[in-house]
Amino acid sequence: MSRIALIAGRGGLPGLLAERLTTEGQTPLLAELEGFESLSRDTGDVLGFRLERLVPFLDHLQDHGVTRAVFAGGVHRPRLDPALIDPATMQLLPRIMAAMQQGDDGTLREVITLMGEWGIEVVGAQDICPDLVAEPGVLGAHQPKPGDRQDAARGFDILRLTGAADVGQGCVVARGQCLALEALPGTDVMLSHLAGLRADGLALPDGGVFCKAPKSGQDRRIDLPALGPQTVARAHEAGLRGIAFEAGGVLLIERAAMIARADELGLFLQAVGPV
């Protein structure tokens, strides 16, 4: 019988998908990259794996009837330990290293290609839970003002440029000026840094919009950006007026709680698409 593998990283998304799959009567094979554990062991047995032993891991999936896989949660490219590489994975090492030199997107594309060679189709989290993504429109009680819409448009212009360079999936714009760009440390670090600058009295334009979108040309089956209630709280702490994100291209974790938090804090949430 065909089976799906849930390959988990950090955050709340893996648990949400595991619950949805189980509710639908499926028994996913649960796996985590060592060092990025997030799944509760209450969800079932969890297989740990390392990139240094990628071929044995793919063989294991194949042996257990896995024909589809979904990636969920955040990971960073781990540092490889040459002493742990098995002979079969060593044969793939030139491909893996070449892909890693092309950045995150190149690495992920190679992972998808390799899984296809083992007969495993990669599907997106949004294919498992379509309600994770939003249609265009405003979510919640607060509407963006004309200046906010202009800042959002400016932010998406910036993300088209940074995305093409494989740099981040978010930025903050206020009165047409870019106040912050998301890099490897992620959204929370960016927004916390901006909040700290405001607290220190740095002269910055009031308000601002946090913009979030996938990178241009990104394979949307893997590594879609995500937003949740904590993002809303961080945006409020940074003094922002709202969050604009690409409709259909950003995963909303705990959507109802996220909207409720935005309503409580006076922030708007706008799904814009396509950007």
Task: Kindly report the CATH number assigned to the domain that includes residue 211.
Answer: 3.40.140.80
Give the global pTM.
0.88
pLDDT reading at 105 higher than 80? no
The predicted-structure confidence for 21-63, as pLDDT tens digits, reads as follows: 999 999 999 998 887 766 655 556 789 898 899 999 999 999 9
Q: How many folded domains does the chain comprise?
A: 2
> Per-residue confidence at 237, pLDDT binned at 50, 70, 90?
very high
Based on the domain organization, do 145 and 257 belong to the same domain? yes
Query: CA dihedral in degrees (188, 190, 194, 196; nearest 10)?
Result: 60
What is the pLDDT, as a whole number, of residue 44? 62
Of 128, 143, 160, the one marking the end of a domain is 128
The predicted-structure confidence for 166-182, as pLDDT tens digits, reads as follows: 888 999 999 999 999 99
Q: What is the CATH number of the domain that holds 38?
A: 3.40.50.20
Of 85, 113, 128, the one marking the end of a domain is 128
Based on the domain organization, do 195 and 100 belong to the same domain? no
What is the pLDDT, as a whole number, of residue 2? 83
Based on the domain organization, do 42 and 137 belong to the same domain? no
Based on the domain organization, do 76 and 110 belong to the same domain? yes
**Domain residues for 137?**
133-272
Q: Which of 187, 147, 152 is nearest to 173 (CA)?
A: 152
What is the pLDDT, as a whole number, of residue 167? 83
Based on the domain organization, do 83 and 152 belong to the same domain? no
What is the pLDDT, as a whole number, of residue 219? 84
Place of tokens 């979510």: 139
Say if strands 251-252 and 226-227 run parallel, antiparallel, or are unpaired.
Answer: parallel
b/e map of 139-154 (b: 16 or more CB within 10 Å)?
bbebebeeebbebbbb
> Per-residue confidence at 146, pLDDT binned at 50, 70, 90?
very high
Percent over 70 (pLDDT), the chain? 96
**Average pLDDT value for the chain:** 91
Tokens representing residue 49 in the block:
């794996």
> Per-residue confidence at 236, pLDDT binned at 50, 70, 90?
very high
Based on the domain organization, do 46 and 143 belong to the same domain? no
What is the pLDDT, as a whole number, of residue 12? 86
Q: Which of 173, 171, 192, 188 is nearest to 241 (CA)?
A: 173
Based on the domain organization, do 117 and 248 belong to the same domain? no
Based on the domain organization, do 108 and 151 belong to the same domain? no
Based on the domain organization, do 244 and 137 belong to the same domain? yes
What integer is the mean pLDDT of 1-22? 89
Q: Which of 58, 66, 123 is nearest to 91 (CA)?
A: 58
What is the pLDDT, as a whole number, of residue 55? 95
Question: Residue 151 and residue 129: Cα distance in Å, rounded?
Answer: 30
Helix (H, G, I), strand (E, B) or coil at 230: helix
Of 96, 128, 160, the one marking the end of a domain is 128
pLDDT reading at 1 higher than 70? no
Based on the domain organization, do 175 and 208 belong to the same domain? yes
Cβ 50 vs Cβ 34: under 8 Å: yes
> Per-residue confidence at 272, pLDDT binned at 50, 70, 90?
very high
What integer is the mean pLDDT of 57-85? 89
Query: CA dihedral in degrees (59, 60, 62, 64; nearest 10)?
Result: 160
Cβ 15 vs Cβ 32: under 8 Å: no
Based on the domain organization, do 186 and 258 belong to the same domain? yes
Of the listed ranges 21-30, 71-80, 93-102, 146-155, the one predicted with least confidence? 71-80
Based on the domain organization, do 178 and 214 belong to the same domain? yes
